[in-house]
Structure 1
Amino acid sequence: MMKKSGSIIEAVAGAVIFVIGLVLCFHNYVQKGNTAYAVSLLVAIAGVIVLIAGICNIVSKGERKPVDTKVLAQAALCAALCYVGATFIKIDVPVGTEKTMFHFGNVFCVLAALLIGGAWGGLAGAVGMTISDLTTAYVTSAPKTFILKLCIGLIVGFVAHKLFHLSKDHSAKYVTVATIVSSVCGMAFNIVADPVVGYFYKSYLLGVPQDLAKALAKIGAITTSVNAVIAVIVATIIYLALRPVMKKTGMLREL
Structure 2
Amino acid sequence: MKTSQKNKRLIKIAYAGLMAALCYVGYAVFPAITTTGTKIHIGNAFVVLGALLLGGVYGGFAGAIGLSIADILGGYAVSAPRTFICKLAIGLIVGLVAHRFAKISHNHQKSYIVKWSIVSAVAGLAFNCVFEPSLKYIWYTLLTPNSEKAASAISALIAITTAATVVNAVINSVIGVIAYLALRPILFKTGLLGEVDEDPVPIQKAV
Q: Normalised by the size of structure 1, how large is the TM-score?
A: 0.68
Change over 3 Å in CA distance of 1:164–1:100 after alignment to 2: closer
Change over 3 Å in CA distance of 1:94–1:207 after alignment to 2: farther
Q: Is the 8 A contact 2:38 2:165 kept in 1?
A: no
Amino acid at match of 2:90: I
- State which of 224, 238, 241 in structure 1 corresponds to 2:179: 238
Name the structure 2 match of 1:202: 140
Change over 3 Å in CA distance of 1:176–1:145 after alignment to 2: same
Q: Normalised by the size of structure 2, how large is the TM-score?
A: 0.83
Structure 1 unaligned spans of 5+: 1-59
How many pairs does the alignment contain?
190
Please give the alpha-carbon distance, in whole angstroms, between the structure 1 residues aligned to 2:95 and 2:128. Answer: 14
Mapping for residues 140-219 of structure 1, pairs under 5 Å = 140-210=78-148, 212-219=149-156
Is residue 2:184 matched to residue 1:247? no
Poorly superposed stretches of 4+, deviation over 4 Å: none
Change over 3 Å in CA distance of 1:94–1:156 after alignment to 2: closer
Name the % identity: 44
Change over 3 Å in CA distance of 1:120–1:239 after alignment to 2: same
Please give the alpha-carbon distance, in whole angstroms, between the structure 2 residues aligned to 1:231 and 1:100. Answer: 14
RMSD, aligned α-carbons = 2.2
Higher mean C-alpha deviation, range 129-138 or range 86-95: 86-95
Amino acid at match of 1:149: K
Change over 3 Å in CA distance of 1:218–1:174 after alignment to 2: same
Name the structure 2 match of 1:78: 19
Change over 3 Å in CA distance of 1:247–1:65 after alignment to 2: closer
Please give the alpha-carbon distance, in whole angstroms, between the structure 2 residues aligned to 1:157 and 1:189. Answer: 13
- Higher alpha-carbon Rg: 1
The higher-RCO structure (CA 8 Å, 6+ apart) is: 2
- State which of 28, 32, 49 in structure 2 corresponds to 1:91: 32
- Cα distance, 1:78 vs. partner? 0.1
Please give the alpha-carbon distance, in whole angstroms, between the structure 1 residues aligned to 2:35 and 2:129. Answer: 19
Report the structure, 1 or 2, having the larger helix content.
1
Please give the alpha-carbon distance, in whole angstroms, between the structure 1 residues aligned to 2:182 and 2:176. Answer: 10
Q: Is the 8 A contact 1:190 1:224 kept in 2?
A: no
Please give the alpha-carbon distance, in whole angstroms, between the structure 1 residues aligned to 2:195 and 2:26. Answer: 26
- Cα distance, 1:156 vs. partner? 0.6
Is residue 2:61 matched to residue 1:120? no
Please give the alpha-carbon distance, in whole angstroms, between the structure 1 residues aligned to 2:117 and 2:83. Answer: 23
